[in-house]
Each structure stands twice: as structure tokens, then as C-alpha cells.
Structure 1
């Protein structure tokens, strides 16, 4: 049964295969402003080397700490991976607080499920499993956003108790209780 775990080098091969799936669908191109897109551009070329992958994992874990240096506009965040054994299925990022951009566009929580594992309920379970982490971080309720044409993500958010607030541009904004 899949579970949320901190990033780990133990799923290296499966993580690389998942990132290849994301890249095949166009993620990581210069127009992709998502966390995943940025990571594919910055780290993708080195992930195959085990030492570089371990450094990437350590860097993700370090983002939880307030004192960790990060680009302007970035906030501390907790990344968790949805894995089953040594198989990487997806990931979720809980941002510890909101900036104006996150309030309008990005939200507290973002998640990705590898393309070959979509449509199996993983996203709904990942979000549900991560809500206690958000609560422990003092986030209640959590803001989640999705593009207005992303019906699957909208259903995931609503299945986890998301209450629609408004639409800003193409982004639908929902508040999800964490307690």
C-alpha cells in the first residue's frame, strides 16, 4: 500500500522513470512555472548520477528549515513522496506560509502524480494523507488552486473537503480544512 515518506534515495530508479514520463508530456519546458517544471530544468540533467540525486534529496529536506537559503519569493516547504516499496508514484509539497503570489496562484499545497499512475485515486489519497502535515505546520485551512480546465484536480480538492472561494485568472481557489 502506498505511503507518504520524506524524499529518499531509495526510489532513485523509479523517480528517474517518473521524471522521464513528466518530460515526455512536456513538463519542464521554459513555460512550465510549476515546482516540478523548475526541478526538471535545474536538476534533471544530473539526477541519473546517484551522488547528485542524494544531494537533490538532501536539498528538498533542507527546504523545511526557515534558515535554508532559497530564491526570492520562495517560502519554507515540506516535500513528501508517495511511494510503494521502491516505486515513486507522486509527490506533494506543503508550503508553510503564503506570499501574495501563492495566495493568488500557487496555494499552500501542490501535488503531482506520475502519468502512468493517474486515474487510480492516488492524488486524492496523497492530499488526504498530507493534510495532517499541513495542520502540524499551523496551516488550517489550506489553500489549494488548480487551473479552471483541470477537472481531475478539481475533483481531488473537492473530495478532500475543498470549499470554492473564487477564480483569479485561470486559477480556481479552494480552502481545504486540515483539522
Structure 2
């Protein structure tokens, strides 16, 4: 298993992966769900642009998108290089999702561990993640990877490393 950084040339297998993840499933935003292939190709360019550390403003922050690869794409993850005021309150530096057909195979745990390694390489510290309180699987994954409960909202647990 490994992470592969998104590029504008990423083709059909990655597009199919994103069609296997809900639009806003378990707190992960997947804008590409139900896009046609041409829209997906445009999104790749936008996502690649957002990886530039100089990208963004008070509302938008730079983020690097990765694919989790295990012989084929099984998940997607993001590392935000910094947080704005809104993301500090309810959000975080890392986010990930596993394709529905690849769940319950320990990919979530592996993907988060790899994303945390990327945070270290990118000198993102502290690292924060938010998880819906009712998402038992993701809460377990975060704790297993060393996340410490930092605060809670009505709907989220906020963890830090």
C-alpha cells in the first residue's frame, strides 16, 4: 500500500474510485461524485492547483490530495497545509475516504497512518482531524493512530496529534 499524489493526468481508475464514495459521506466532501468524466478532468486541474502552498486566502487553504494505492486505487486522502479560523473550530488538516467496495479491509487505518507521515514530511504540526461522533469506525481509526481528543462539538470529535 502506498500514497500517490494526485496529478492532472490521473485517469479512469481514479474517476471510478470517486464514484464509489458519497458526495458528503461521513464528513468527507467528494465534489466529483456524479460528475461526468470531463468534469472530473477539470476537477483534477483544480485539485492540483490547490496543492501549491501559496494557494488560498482566509476562506480557502492549500491542500494536497493523494490516492491510496493497493494494486488499484482504494481511497483518497487530503492534507491541508494550514487551517483557517473555521477549520480550527470544525475541521482539520487530514481527511480521507475509502471506496464503499473496499471498506472493512483495514484501509482506513493504513490511509490515515500514511497521511500522518505526509503531514510530518510537509511540516504540518499540530495535526487536527474532525470525525462525526456517530462514525464509530473512523473514531476508532483516529485513536488507533494516536489521535488525542482535543474537543467536542454537538456532532464532531476533534482530535490532535
Give yes or no for TM over 0.5: yes
Number of corresponding residues: 161
Deviation, 1:93, is 0.5
1:56 aligns with 2:43: yes
- Alpha-carbon distance in structure 1 between the residues aligned to 2:54 and 2:128: 24
> In the alignment, what sits opposite 2:23?
28
Q: Root-mean-square deviation (CA), in Å?
A: 2.5
Deviation, 1:33, is 7.2
For structure 2, the 5+ residue unaligned runs are none
Residues 33 and 128 of structure 1: is their aligned pair in 2 closer, same or farther, counting only changes over 3 Å?
closer
> In the alignment, what sits opposite 1:157?
142
For structure 1, the 5+ residue unaligned runs are none
Deviation, 1:100, is 1.7
1:89 aligns with 2:84: no
> In the alignment, what sits opposite 1:75?
61
1:45 aligns with 2:35: yes
> In the alignment, what sits opposite 1:7?
6
Compare the two structures and name the one with the higher helix fraction. Answer: 1
Larger Rg: 1
The correspondence of residues 61-140 of structure 1 with structure 2, limited to 5 A, is 61-68=48-55, 70=56, 73-85=59-71, 87-140=72-125
8 Å CA contact retained: 1:8, 1:57: yes
SS of 1:66 mapped into structure 2:
coil
Residues 58 and 142 of structure 1: is their aligned pair in 2 closer, same or farther, counting only changes over 3 Å?
same
Deviation, 1:104, is 1.7
Residues 73 and 34 of structure 1: is their aligned pair in 2 closer, same or farther, counting only changes over 3 Å?
farther
Q: TM-score, normalised by structure 1?
A: 0.78
Moved over 2 A (4+): 8-22, 31-35, 52-59
> In the alignment, what sits opposite 2:128?
143
8 Å CA contact retained: 2:130, 2:157: yes
Deviation, 1:54, is 4.3
- Alpha-carbon distance in structure 2 between the residues aligned to 1:122 and 1:167: 26
The Cα offsets for residues 133-172 of structure 1, whole Å up to 9 and x where unpaired, read as 2122222231111011000000110111011122112010
Q: TM-score, normalised by structure 2?
A: 0.85
